[in-house]
Amino acid sequence: MTPHDLRMAMKGNTIMSKTLRRRVAAAVALTASAALLLAGCAGGGADPASSEGGGSGEGSDQRIRLAMLQPPQSALSPFSDDASKLSRWSAGEGLVRLNEELEIEPLLATEWEQTDDLTWVFTIREGVTFHDGSELDAAAVQNTIEQAGAAEPAPRVLRGVTLDAEATGDLEVTITTDVPDPLLLNRLASAQMSIFSEAAYAEDGTVDPVGTLTGPFELIELAGTTTATLDRYEDYWGETAQAAGIDVSFVPDGAARAAALRSGEADVAETVPVSQAGLLDETMAFEVQQSRTTYLALNTESGPFTDPALRAAAYAAIDPQVIVDTIYEGRADVAEGLIGPAIPWAADLRGDVEPTAEPADVEGVEIVLAAYTDRAELPEIAVRLEEQLEAAGFVVTQDVREYINMEDELLSGGFDSAIISRNVLLDTGDPLSFEAADFTCEGGFNITRLCDAGVDELVAAGQPLPVGADRQQATMDIEAAIMQLGAAVPIAHDRVVQGEAGTWVDVVRDPLERRLITEFTRPAE
């Protein structure tokens, strides 16, 4: 029997029990509401982390139409960047999550304790069911962690640490790390560590998210790279979702996303390009400060930019202010370094970010400049960068495509330079982890192909540090080392425009890009 067959069988066997539970829930709605009010004293009452028991109240019969920026790259595998979509749709949930203050709060785990340098004990929330009807228990959590650890390639969020999980009770999981890990909770808060039912995992290593998660919305169907359909999960452990479901369209073209919003074909549009934001009614465009940096990655492994003096020349040739003024129309901040103003301590700790090499004469040096179309501003930036680089003497050839069609070449060093947009808090909510992923020898997203012993030593020294002042300083020391080598030219720190038609309220405007539609997103009155 395939995982899909098993899941369908389990669903068939649980239809009657689900119906009974719904009737019971409706009969005790007043009692449940009172309990939720009491539970909310510590957490605000409107947060699933502070809600207990099955869903209460009745939601709308309306559905949210969502236009998203980037199609799935890996069929929504939790071990890839696709995992963030499951989080933004409130389909997937982890043991814990990060809030807007970058603090850890409970989700599928209600409490935890670190018992020694390597060992953590988590208490699993009682009464949670997966979308296939099976119950969440410690064994399911153990299985998810083991599956993530065995995945090839490993999820980025687990790089640098090995986790061992053991169900030490029906609702207790003990997690042991191979080395002291100050970021364990941050790792577990990543969408890549969403908890799946056993039926999700196939023998070939793939993970099927359809009907196998725990969130207030159940993924019903993924139609390739075009659409996804989610329905309200009536047996959700927290507040029942207000929306009946989410109809997702993947629309890489930014103008098309904005047009869908203007025409009434979309209720929410992710990442409206600056060039289109001005065409929206001002009540539809919401500017969100992002922890996202756009930078020019220079290939330090092969091609012209193996020469530090040529990298310094590229740095000197580029004027980010012009790009912010013209392409972003002022809706961004000029990047002083890789870590932007969304991380409040960065500017005060910033060191020298100028390349140490003297710029070389670049007259006639030929380079290939890559950019992807998924973010509408990047091809426009490419045009400006070509102008600035050619004014300095470079001969520039552009290569602009959808990200899905160039990812392998980007990661393998197939371009001399590439314009990259990166959330520096991706995965762990820790900018030092971004530096490790993008600029170390073993980094999983090292488009610069930088492999420098000094940078690797700084990263290795910084990674064991606990969250706090010392780790912050280490982060900025690493930034300075990367910049002094000229591996990247910072351009802008983004302020993303999120489009909302006004048909729904409580759509989340999240600087972390982890949440968007939640159980509390409701129709406008």
Tell me the pLDDT of the chain (525 aa) as tens digits. Answer: 433 343 334 334 333 333 333 333 333 332 332 232 222 222 333 343 433 333 334 678 999 999 999 999 999 999 998 999 999 999 999 999 988 777 899 999 999 999 999 999 999 999 999 999 999 999 999 999 999 999 988 898 898 899 999 999 999 999 999 999 999 999 999 999 999 999 999 999 999 999 999 999 999 999 999 999 999 999 999 999 999 999 999 999 999 999 999 999 999 999 998 889 989 999 999 998 888 999 999 999 999 999 999 999 999 999 999 999 999 988 899 999 999 988 888 999 999 999 999 999 999 999 999 999 988 899 999 999 999 999 999 999 999 999 999 999 999 999 999 999 998 987 788 999 899 999 999 998 999 999 999 999 999 999 889 888 999 999 999 999 999 999 999 999 988 899 999 999 999 999 888 999 999 999 998
What's the Cα-to-Cα distance from 221 to each of 8, 216, 229, rounded to whole Å? 13, 16, 5
Q: How far apart are CA 53 and CA 95, in angstroms?
A: 17
Beta strands per DSSP E along 312-438: 332-334, 366-372, 395-401, 417-423
Amino acid in the structure at residue 257:
R
**In the prediction, which pLDDT does 58 show?**
65
Q: How far apart are CA 11 and CA 7, in angstroms?
A: 6
Mind giving me the DSSP string for 171-227?
TEEEEEESS--TTHHHHHTSGGG----GGGB-TTS-B--TT---SSEEEEEEETTTE
Alpha carbon 62 to its chain centroid, in Å, reads 27
Whether the bond between 153 and the residue before it is cis, its omega within 30 degrees of 0, is yes
Backbone Cα Rg of the chain: 24
Q: How far apart are CA 263 and CA 280, in angstroms?
A: 10
- Look up residue 421 and give its two tokens: 């947009």
